Amino acid sequence: MSAVCALRSRCFPRQVLLGLSAAMSRSYSLDVSAPLLRTQGYVDGRWVSAASVFPVLDPATGQEIARVADCGPAEAKQAVDAAYKAFHSWKQYTAKERSVLLRKWFDLLTLHKDDLAKLITFECGKPLRESLGEVTYSASFLDWFSEEARRVYGDIVPSPAKDRKILLLKQPVGVASIITPWNFPSAMITRKVGAALAAGCTVVVKPAEDTPLSALALAELAEQAGIPAGVFNVVPCSRETTPAVGQVLCTDPLVAKISFTGSTATGKVLLKMAADTVKKASMELGGHAPFIVFDSADIDKAVGGAMASKFRNSGQTCVCSNRFLVQSGIYERFVEKLGRAMDAELRLGHGSEPETTQGPLINTRAAEKVVHQILDAVSLGAKVLRGGKRLHGSFMEPTLLADVTADMLCTKEETFGPLLPVIRFNTEEEALAIANASNVGLAGYFYSQDVSQIWRVAEALEVGIVGVNEGLLSTPEATFGGVKQSGLGREGSKYGIDEYLEVKYMCFGGLKP
């Protein structure tokens, strides 16, 4: 009997599901220090109420954990006006002064990391260990850009004429609208805002409606750090109010720049809105990452990389591996080892439980999408080796599919859930053709010990981020961004701050030779 046939059980071992059973029999409450649990908008250094509120739910239990001000177009316009006013003074701060304030903000995030992690876990569902990791990652961008603030260098260019000097100056673009997703509710803000403030820009942040609490906690700590009024503004809003708020943030003439992380479809809408006033735009959009394992790979390391890349945040990251391509010579061994790793390492439950590795998906719509992809794949011949079932609420069993083909829905669209489909391939050329057959290109991964192959494949993959024998890639020192319809621009690294700068040419003439 082949290894694949031996694994054709759709059930996880009992211990994998025990954490979920325990979670559903307990009650959980969000316990953080009062100053960090903010529920009003933050505009021009003041906490502001709105005409109505909207609920924030714990996705693991469906219970309400807070009611937050539902800011509308009026509050959004107030925030833009405040940011515009503050820009004229903030840009006059020296680079060192901005650096010092960003560093103070970093220190406060580090000091309050436990409470910030609890907020993340309760509003987006990820395990507390991952939430603590996100807070560290979030703070690292403030640390990095506090240093980069002092390295915004211009150029002195040799002039063709003796009576003039040519200077290229870098200046902040102005007010930036920052629109962020729910899956990294803290880090996606600091990765953008750290660069913007370092450059001398001011910002208006619209956090995702599912996860406003982390953004408001960041505002509280920004105020404690001494960030001036109007420099950092937050306008939380409900799903229903989001289109009207987005309209203000993307069309107001006082906004010079928009930075968005989210779906490709939404990014296109925002770009169209921004086009009328020709705003500078950064877009970090959808991914559909291939994960290729060649015959020469170290299989154990490839399995470890697959586990880390696929199941972090229950598969809800834009750089999660979505399509697993395994060469035929090692296919059955890889699938067998991967199934055993899933049995041994994955535990479903509430994110605040220390043993939990897999929390819920963000909502029931997300779970329904995963179920739909599984049913489609099975109807076309895929085999469910692990999981395959939707559980309580928005919990999904981590699912392993074998005998997957490129005509199945899970290989054509981003999943954003704990579904791992494995495709068999024979040649390098075949793997690259499958991997590149997508209109998006954010991240890609592959495992190989053939040095020549490593160079060929790394250069041939049509993505903005490549992991070679590594499943976790993100760091503030490196660029983050994609090609094709995965977006525009880069975040992080020394290049991230350029997204918030303009280059001005200054010709200083009339000089005596």
Residues marked as catalytic:
284, 318
Query: Does the CA dihedral 65-71-75-79 come out positive or negative?
Result: positive
Question: What span, in angstroms and rounded, lies between the C-alpha atoms of 139 and 106?
Answer: 5
Please choose, from the candidates 362, 361, 359, the residue with its C-alpha nearest in 3D space to the C-alpha of residue 347. 359
Question: What span, in angstroms and rounded, lies between the C-alpha atoms of 290 and 415?
Answer: 12
Please choose, from the candidates 198, 32, 188, the residue with its C-alpha nearest in 3D space to the C-alpha of residue 105. 198
Beta-bridge mates of residue 326: 293, 424
Helix segments in 159-237, DSSP class H = 187-199, 212-225
Please choose, from the candidates 184, 178, 259, 246, the residue with its C-alpha nearest in 3D space to the C-alpha of residue 214. 184
Please choose, from the candidates 259, 271, 204, the residue with its C-alpha nearest in 3D space to the C-alpha of residue 232. 204
Please identify which residue in the block is written with the tokens 């903005």.
464
User: Which region, left, alpha or beta, applies to residue 65 given φ > 0 means left and ψ of -120 to 50 means alpha?
Assistant: alpha
Please report how the helices 242-251 and 264-275 are oriented relative to each other, as an axis angle in degrees rounded to 10.
50
Tokens of 484: 């094709």
Question: What span, in angstroms and rounded, lies between the C-alpha atoms of 317 and 130?
Answer: 12
Helix segments in 34-160, DSSP class H = 73-90, 95-111, 113-124, 128-148
